[in-house]
């Protein structure tokens, strides 16, 4: 298995915030409410699933132009 491909599926909280264009506090709130999937590597090192970020974006996106999404 390719280690680089495996690493790209999980982001730090800071990188997840950049991906979503929001604060790290918002990412932590979304994790706490169960809207984002995350795992702890150590008691202080959390990683966020890219798939759950993309799913959250897709579920909450709106199509403001009225065309096909």
Domain coordinates of the chain in residue numbers?
3-54
pLDDT at 11: 95
Q: Which are the contacts of 21, defined by CB distance < 8 A and separation ≥ 6?
A: none
pLDDT in tens, 26-52: 999 999 999 999 999 999 999 999 999
Which residues face 40 on adjacent strands?
46
Task: List the one residue out of 6, 57, 10 whose CA is nearest residue 35.
Answer: 57
Q: Which fold has domain 3-54?
A: Arc Repressor Mutant, subunit A (1.10.10)
CA angle 42, 44, 47 (to 5 degrees): 75
| Confidence (pTM) | 0.74
Rounded average pLDDT over 9-38: 95
pLDDT at 62: 78
**Share above pLDDT 70 across residues of the chain, in percent, rounded to a whole number:** 78
């Amino acid at each position: 298995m390719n280690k680089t491909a495996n690493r790209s599926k999980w982001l730090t909280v800071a990188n997840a915030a950049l991906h979503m264009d929001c604060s790290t506090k918002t990412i932590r709130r979304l994790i706490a409410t169960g809207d984002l999937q995350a795992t702890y590597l150590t008691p202080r090192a959390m990683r966020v699933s890219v798939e759950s970020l993309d799913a959250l974006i897709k579920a909450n996106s709106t199509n403001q132009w009225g065309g096909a999404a």
